[in-house]
C-alpha cells in the first residue's frame, strides 16, 4: 500500500477509591457505576454511550466496565499517536468531571483511569491496532511472517509487567519482570473470534472500506503504550513488515510450531535467550527473528526509499532495542521503550528500599506508571524529569482533541456531525455512513477511507440551510470556553438565517 489507514482502540482500566479514613483507604464505587459517571456527559451530549465525536473518533462504553476510545482513521503514524494521546486527554477530562459530579452527589473519592492491560484481578483488556491492507495479501504470509513478527514484537514495545507468581508449563517461576502484559492472555494465532479465544490476529471481516479491494487487519496482541517513542516503534515496524509482505520481497519463513507457547515464553524471559521452535524444527530466539526482519527491512528501505519522515528513527530504535535485549544493558533505550522505562524505575525503588520484587509497593508502581492523570501518572512524572522521551508537541495533542485528522474521511465525518449539530438536525454516523434523520434516502456511504472532499457530503449538508452565510467555525479558545468537555464542544455556530423545514417524503 502506498498509503495506509491506521486506527487504534484503547480500553481503559477504571477504579474509584474512597477518601482514606485514618490512613485506611475506603472502597469506592464499583467499576460499572464509576464508568456510568464517567460517561454521563457523553450520554447527555449524544443520547448514547456509543458515539462518534467531532474529532472523528468513537467513545464507547460496553457492558463490561472498560471505557473505550477508538481513534479516527489516520494515514500517518504521527497523526495516529496524536489521536491516541488525545484519547487519554479526553478520558482524563471525563474523569475529572465525574469526580465533581460524584462529589455533588455526596460521593467523595478519586477515579483512576489506567492505560494498561491487566487489572489486579488478572482480567485483561486490550489495545487493538487496525491496518488497512490489500485484499490480495496472501494469508499464508500473514502466518509465516506477520504472526512470528507479532509474537516477538513484545521485546520492542511491550509495556512491561511485574509478575509476582506464575506457573509456566508446569514450572514455578518466581517473581520476575516480563516484557508484556498481554502475552499471557492470548489463546490463538489467527482466528475470527475476539473475546472468547483472543487470537493475535483477528480475521473478522469488517473492512469499513471497499471489501473487494481491502481488508482491515485487526491486531489484538499489543500492550497499551504510554511512551510515544515506543508507539512509533510499534506502528512503524508493523507497517514496514506489512509493506514488505505486500511487495512480495522474500522474507524467510519463521512460522512457529506453537505461537501461543512462544509468546508466553518470550514474555517471561527478559534475557531474550529463550528459544522457540519454528515449523522447520529450528530453534530461534525472539532477537534472532526480529534481527532477521530488521535486516530485510533495512535492505527494503534502501531499495525502495523512505515512505515517511520517521523511518530512520524507527530503524535505529529497532536496532538499539534488539542490542539492549541481547546485551542485557538497557541503558540505551530506557527513556524510549516502555518496558525499559518502567523497569528502571521499579529497579531503582526496589534497590533504594531493599524491596523484594513481590513487594506490593512495586506492584503499585507497575500500575501507577499507566495512570493517565498528568499530575499523578508516573510516566508523566518521568517525562517531566526528562527520563521518558516524547515525540509530539502538546499543541499537536490539543489539536487532535478538537479536530479530526485531515488526511482521511474522518475529516468529513467530523465536519458532517459538527454541522448537523450546529443546525440541531438529527443525524447518525459510523465509520462509513453519514445520515440526516430527515433525509434517510440520501444517506452517504464513504467506502474510501482516504476520501477527504466529498461533494455529496456538502450537497446533503446544504439541505440544512445557507451555510456559507450563517455558519462560523469557532476558534480553539472559543471551544475550550464551552462548559462541556472540549472534545464534545460545538465546532460551528449558526449565526442567523432560517433552518428550512424537513422535506416531505
Q: Which residues are catalytic?
A: 62
Q: Is 68 annotated as a binding residue?
A: yes
Site for ligand ATP in 105-164 (CB under 6 A): 130-132
Report whether 233 contacts 290 (CB < 8 A).
no
Near ligand ATP by CB under 6 A: residue from 53, 59, 61, 70: 70
Closest to 410 measured CA to CA, from 432, 440, 436: 432
Site for ligand ATP in 420-439 (CB under 6 A): 431
**Closest distance to Mg ion from the beta carbon of 11 (Å):** 8
Q: Helices (H), strands (E): how many in the chain?
A: 18, 21
Q: Is 304 annotated as a binding residue?
A: no
216 binds Mg ion (CB under 5 A): no
Which of 14, 107 has the CB closer to ligand ATP? 14
404/106 Cα distance (integer angstroms):
37
DSSP secondary structure string for all residues of 129-146 = EEEEEETTS-HHHIIIII
- Tell me which of ligand ATP, Mg ion, none is bound by residue 5, counting a contact when its beta carbon lies within the kind-specific cut-off of 5 to 8 angstroms: ligand ATP
310/479 Cα distance (integer angstroms):
32
C-alpha cell belonging to residue 46? 449524544
Which residue stretch of 127-135, 172-180, 185-193, 262-270 sits at the interface with Mg ion (rule: CB under 5 A)? 127-135
494/472 Cα distance (integer angstroms):
6
32 binds ligand ATP (CB under 6 A): no
293/240 Cα distance (integer angstroms):
10
71 binds ligand ATP (CB under 6 A): yes
9 binds Mg ion (CB under 5 A): yes
- Tell me which of Mg ion, ligand ATP, none is bound by residue 421, counting a contact when its beta carbon lies within the kind-specific cut-off of 5 to 8 angstroms: none
Q: Which pairing describes strands 188-191 and 199-202: parallel, antiparallel, or unpaired? A: parallel
DSSP secondary structure string for all residues of 276-325 = EEBTTS-EEEHHHHHHHHHHHHHHHHHHH--SSTTHHHHHHHHHHHHHHH
Near ligand ATP by CB under 6 A: residue from 160, 414, 449, 486: 449
Q: Is residue 467 classed as helix, strand or coil in its secondary structure? A: helix
Which of 9, 92 has the CB closer to Mg ion? 9
168/329 Cα distance (integer angstroms):
26
Which of 59, 368 has the CB closer to ligand ATP? 59
**Closest distance to ligand ATP from the beta carbon of 358 (Å):** 35
Residue nearest to Mg ion (CB): 9
**Closest distance to Mg ion from the beta carbon of 127 (Å):** 10
Residue whose grid cell is 507468581: 165
Which of 203, 332 has the CB closer to ligand ATP? 203
**Closest distance to ligand ATP from the beta carbon of 286 (Å):** 27
Q: Is residue 110 classed as helix, strand or coil in its secondary structure? A: strand
Near Mg ion by CB under 5 A: residue from 16, 66, 115, 128: 128
Q: Is residue 215 classed as helix, strand or coil in its secondary structure? A: strand
Which of 68, 366 has the CB closer to ligand ATP? 68
> Quick one: CA torsion of 339, 345, 347, 348, rounded to 10 degrees?
160
- Tell me which of ligand ATP, Mg ion, none is bound by residue 330, counting a contact when its beta carbon lies within the kind-specific cut-off of 5 to 8 angstroms: none
195/182 Cα distance (integer angstroms):
13
488 binds ligand ATP (CB under 6 A): no
C-alpha cell belonging to residue 248? 512480495
Residue nearest to ligand ATP (CB): 7
Q: Is residue 36 classed as helix, strand or coil in its secondary structure? A: helix
Q: In this structure, what are the phi and psi dihedrals at residue 379, rounded to the nearest 5 degrees?
A: -65, -40
253/145 Cα distance (integer angstroms):
6
Site for Mg ion in 28-87 (CB under 5 A): 70
> Quick one: CA torsion of 336, 342, 346, 348, rounded to 10 degrees?
20
Q: Is 125 annotated as a binding residue?
A: no
Determine the size of the site formed for ligand ATP (CB under 6 A): 20
207 binds ligand ATP (CB under 6 A): yes
Which of 128, 268 has the CB closer to ligand ATP? 128
Residue 120 CB coordination number (10 Å): 9
**Closest distance to Mg ion from the beta carbon of 218 (Å):** 6
Which of 70, 382 has the CB closer to Mg ion? 70
Q: Is 9 annotated as a binding residue?
A: yes
73 binds ligand ATP (CB under 6 A): yes
Which of 339, 431 has the CB closer to ligand ATP? 431
Near ligand ATP by CB under 6 A: residue from 13, 14, 58, 233: 58
Near ligand ATP by CB under 6 A: residue from 147, 209, 402, 464: 209
Count of residues for the chain? 505
Sequence-distant (6+) residues with CB within 8 A of 160 are 177, 178, 179, 180, 181, 338, 339, 340, 341, 342, 343, 366
Binding site for ligand ATP (CB under 6 A): 5, 7-9, 58, 70-73, 130-132, 206-209, 216, 218, 431, 449
Binding site for Mg ion (CB under 5 A): 9, 70, 128
Annotated binding site for Mg(2+): 9, 60, 68
Annotated binding site: 9, 58, 60, 68, 71, 431
Annotated binding site for ATP: 58, 71, 431
Amino acid at each position: 500500500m502506498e498509503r495506509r489507514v491506521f486506527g487504534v482502540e484503547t480500553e481503559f482500566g477504571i477504579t474509584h477509591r474512597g477518601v482514606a479514613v485514618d490512613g485506611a483507604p475506603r472502597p469506592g464505587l464499583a467499576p460499572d457505576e464509576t464508568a456510568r459517571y464517567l460517561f454521563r456527559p457523553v450520554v447527555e451530549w449524544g443520547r448514547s454511550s456509543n458515539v462518534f465525536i467531532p474529532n472523528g473518533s468513537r467513545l464507547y462504553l460496553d457492558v463490561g466496565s472498560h471505557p473505550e476510545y477508538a481513534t479516527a482513521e489516520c494515514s500517518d503514524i504521527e497523526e495516529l499517536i496524536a489521536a491516541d494521546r488525545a484519547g487519554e486527554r479526553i478520558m482524563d477530562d471525563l474523569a475529572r468531571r465525574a469526580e465533581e459530579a460524584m462529589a455533588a452527589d455526596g460521593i467523595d473519592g478519586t477515579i483512576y483511569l489506567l492505560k494498561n492491560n491487566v487489572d489486579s484481578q488478572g482480567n485483561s483488556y486490550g489495545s487493538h491496532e487496525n491496518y488497512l491492507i490489500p485484499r490480495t495479501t496472501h494469508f499464508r504470509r500473514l502466518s509465516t511472517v506477520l504472526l512470528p513478527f507479532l509474537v516477538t514484537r513484545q521485546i520492542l514495545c511491550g509495556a512491561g509487567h511485574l509478575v509476582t507468581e506464575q506457573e509456566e508449563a508446569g514450572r514455578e517461576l518466581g517473581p520476575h519482570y516480563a516484557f508484556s502484559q498481554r502475552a499471557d492472555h492470548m489463546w490463538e494465532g489467527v482466528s475470527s473470534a475476539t473475546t472468547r479465544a483472543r487470537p493475535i490476529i483477528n480475521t473478522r471481516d469488517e473492512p469499513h472500506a471497499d471489501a473487494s479491494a481491502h481488508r482491515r487487519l485487526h491486531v489484538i496482541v499489543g500492550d497499551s503504550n504510554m511512551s510515544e517513542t515506543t508507539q512509533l516503534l510499534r506502528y512503524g515496524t508493523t507497517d514496514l513488515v506489512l509493506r514488505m509482505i505486500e511487495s512480495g520481497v522474500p522474507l524467510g519463513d519463521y512460522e512457529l510450531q506453537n505461537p501461543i507457547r512462544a509468546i508466553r515464553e518470550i514474555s517471561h524471559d527478559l534475557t531474550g535467550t529463550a528459544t522457540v521452535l519454528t515449523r522447520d524444527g529450528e530453534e530461534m530466539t525472539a532477537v534472532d527473528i526480529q534481527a532477521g526482519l530488521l535486516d530485510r527491512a533495512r535492505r527494503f528501505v534502501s531499495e525502495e526509499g523512505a515512505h515517511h519522515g520517521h523511518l530512520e528513527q524507527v530503524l535505529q530504535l529497532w536496532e538499539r532495542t534488539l542490542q539492549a535485549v541481547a546485551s542485557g544493558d538497557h541503558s540505551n533505550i530506557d527513556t524510549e521503550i516502555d518496558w525499559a522505562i518502567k523497569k528502571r524505575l521499579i529497579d531503582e525503588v526496589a534497590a533504594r528500599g531493599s524491596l523484594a520484587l513481590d513487594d506490593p509497593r512495586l506492584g503499585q508502581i507497575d500500575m501507577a506508571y499507566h495512570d493517565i492523570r498528568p499530575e499523578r501518572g508516573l510516566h508523566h512524572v518521568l517525562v517531566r524529569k526528562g527520563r521518558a522521551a516524547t515525540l509530539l508537541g502538546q499543541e499537536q495533542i490539543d489539536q487532535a482533541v478538537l479536530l479530526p485528522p485531515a488526511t482521511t474521511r474522518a475529516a468529513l465525518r467530523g465536519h458532517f456531525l459538527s454541522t448537523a449539530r450546529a443546525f440541531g438536525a438529527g443525524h447518525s454516523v459510523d465509520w462509513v455512513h453519514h445520515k440526516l434523520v430527515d433525509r434517510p434516502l440520501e444517506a452517504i456511504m464513504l467506502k474510501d477511507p482516504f476520501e477527504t472532499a466529498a461533494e455529496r457530503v456538502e450537497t446533503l449538508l446544504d439541505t440544512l440551510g445557507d451555510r456559507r452565510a450563517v455558519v462560523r467555525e469557532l476558534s480553539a479558545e472559543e471551544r475550550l470556553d464551552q462548559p462541556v468537555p472540549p472534545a464534545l464542544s460545538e465546532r460551528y455556530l449558526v449565526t442567523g438565517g432560517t433552518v428550512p423545514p424537513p422535506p416531505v417524503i
